[in-house]
Amino acid sequence: MKRLLLVLAAVCALNAWAEEAVYEDIVYSLDLDKMTAEVGLNPRAYGEIVIPETIKVDQGDFRVTAVGDNAFKGAKDLTAIELPATIEHIYRSAFEGTGIYADKANWLDGVLMIDSMYLIAADKSIKPKYEMPGFVKLVAIGAFKGNKTVTKVTWSESVKVIDHEVFRDCKNLVKLVIPESVEWIGQDVLTGSGLYTNDKKWKKGALYVDGCLIATNKDIASNFVFKSKVPVRLIACNAFAGNKALKSVSIPEGVKCIPSAAFYKCENLVKAEIPNSVTKVEKFAFYGCGKMAECLLPEGVTEIGMGAFFECAALKEQRLGNSIREIEKATFFGCGLMEKINMPGKLEKIADGAFRGCAQLDEVVFPETLTEIGEMAFAGCATMTKVSLPKQVLQIRMGTFKACLALREVSLPYGAYSIGEEAFEGCVNLQRVDMPESMFRIGAHAFMSCESLRSIYLSDDIQEMEEGAFQKCKTLGKVHLPSNLQDLPEAAFAECTALYEVELSDGLENIGNGAFYNCIALREVKLPANVVSIGQESFANCKALKKVVLNESLEQIGVMAFSGCTNLTIPNVPEGTEVAHGAFKGCKK
């Protein structure tokens, strides 16, 4: 169970279940990335309920794929429910304590059925040799968990999934028949069962059932090299998870999927050989395999799950098949030695944090099919020198290239309209940014601490600039503000110590707090006619500032606005302008 909790904690840290919605009085959790929904906590549900295949809410249309943990637990007045064909998982205790659970008419041969297709739970009246009916489509997680009656289970051909913990702690279960129809097996399916505790069922540190590798023994000797002589077609989730003895693994030919967390935190795994039969690598498959230096995927892989190679710090190279359309969240997060990776020719999306912390990853060539790069996707890629984005990438999101220390040149496509918060923050060697006329918004701290940025072209179409956008750009010398920009935000150019000339546009109305704080090279400021307010410390400590021309429409000069401008002679202040405390402190009279 500890292992399960670790995996669930990792999922919670990275997944997209971020919002809840109510549809026809039922609460759902939404996956905003995959546009799927899970039935949430509904302890007060009552009567007869129909769960639809799709719910329509403010965020869009979401396909309902799961019933969550404890979803209807304790809902005594819930008497019937109809589930859609889209349901893929029914989680723990989803119907415990409900009227459905209490109604004996819903129990058949010792198991609770819903819609004659969903097997929810088993009790002591189950037959010891239980043969699952052919009409069963899905079995809930932990459905038989702890059942001491059942001794043999024959799985029906209608079922494709054996979900997590289904037979956990079934101490008298000595035989399980898994048909060819089963395509996926969850974690801890047999942990604590009679099969699991029978030493005779284990072969060289592994537990097999009908060609399915269920688990491996973590207590075997160190430097464990796994190469199965038994034909294997399926590997269960978490089969090798936490196995510190595992040094090398050769996955048998015929296995199509490396399931969720299969090698989770195998801390001493050095090498993994993946056969050509594999087409899918699920989330967290090699999470935390920090010593794994070799694990090349075959061309036929079409899907790699979230965090699949999370913190595989020794992995130097990976190849991605051309059929992959998305690199999911944190897939290669923390692969600090990765130097080389090809971008698939049909790639459409690189999700949040996909390559974050890949400190050795050099220049990346993006395919023209790419439309989206997520937040922090390449943050900390310290050796990347150049970025040229394809024409369909129109937004640079929060922190996408943050702390790319070697990045020198950025080319943004025509049509790009937004640079997100911290997008290039800390790119200390960034010298050139080709910014298109279409640019509309520059987010907070977007170029903060870009210490080598000597000049920047700001399109007149820019209407939004946020706090600290160019703060601490220490070599930035000259700036022309966009004509459509009305509000210069707080600390926009603060501590740009080489900034000597600023051309304020006619459309400017407000200069934010500390906008030019400590711009010690700034020589002259002429306020446009429309400026009505100068914020506190806007020009504080601009020691080279000698001349300021204030406009007649100026209404307010903030606290300490020009304090510390020791070479500035206090200018003529227009009649009616409110001058706050210390506005010209330290200036010449």
The residue extents of the domains of the chain are: 19-102, 477-589
- What architecture is domain 477-589? Alpha-Beta Horseshoe (3.80)
pLDDT band at 11 (very low <50, low <70, confident <90, very high): very low
Tens of pLDDT, residues 365-414: 999 999 999 999 999 999 999 999 999 999 999 999 999 999 999 999 99
Is residue 1 very low, low, confident or very high in pLDDT (cuts 50, 70, 90)?
Answer: very low
Domain 19-102 = CATH 1.25.40.390: no
Average of per-residue pLDDT across 307-317: 96
pLDDT at res. 3: 41
> Kind and range of the H or E element at 177?
strand 175-177
Exposure of 155 in the CB half-sphere (CA atoms within 13 A): 25
528-568 pLDDT tens trace: 999 999 999 999 999 999 999 999 999 999 999 999 999 99
Residue 480, pLDDT score: 93
pLDDT at residue number 205: 85
Which amino acid, one-letter code, is at 447?
Answer: F
Q: Tell me if residue 247 falls in helix, strand or coil.
A: strand
Mean pLDDT of 284-297: 96
Give the model's pLDDT for residue 230.
84
Confidence (pLDDT) at 70: 96
Q: In Å, how far from its chain's centre is CA 444?
A: 21
The pLDDT value recorded for residue 227 is: 85
Residues 137, 114 contacting (CB under 8 angstroms): no
Q: What is the pLDDT of residue 7?
A: 41
CA distance 319 to 282: 16
Which whole number is the average pLDDT over 148-171? 95
> 5 pLDDT exceeds 60?
no
At residue 33 the predicted structure's pLDDT band, cuts being 50, 70 and 90, is confident
Stated as kind and residue range, the H or E segment containing 226 is strand 224-227
Residue pLDDT, tens place only, 429-453: 999 999 999 999 999 999 999 999 9
Q: What is the pLDDT of residue 14?
A: 45
Higher pLDDT, 85 or 6: 85
Single-letter code of the amino acid located at 295 = C
Distance between CA atoms of 189 and 270, rounded to whole angstroms?
A: 27
The mean per-residue pLDDT over the stretch 511-520 comes to: 98
> What ranges in 92-144 are assigned the alpha helix state H?
99-102
What dihedral angle (degrees, nearest 10) is formed by the CA atoms of 6, 12, 13, 14? 110
**DSSP 8-state secondary structure symbol assigned to residue 53:** S
Instruction: Tell me if 19-102 shares its fold with 477-589.
Output: yes
HSE toward the beta carbon, residue 499, CA cutoff 13 A: 29
| CA–CA distance, 554 with 535 (Å, rounded to integer) | 12
What band does 218 get if pLDDT is binned at 50, 70 and 90? Answer: low
pLDDT surpassing 50 at residue 330:
yes
Residue 322 has pLDDT above 70, yes or no: yes
pLDDT tier, 221 (very low <50, low <70, confident <90, very high otherwise)? low
416 and 439 in contact (C-beta within 8 Å)? yes
Residue 219 predicted with pLDDT over 70: no
Predicted confidence at residue 13, as pLDDT, reads 44
pLDDT for 340 equals 87
CA–CA distance, 557 with 536 (Å, rounded to integer):
7
Q: How confident is the model at residue 204 (pLDDT cuts 50, 70, 90)?
A: confident
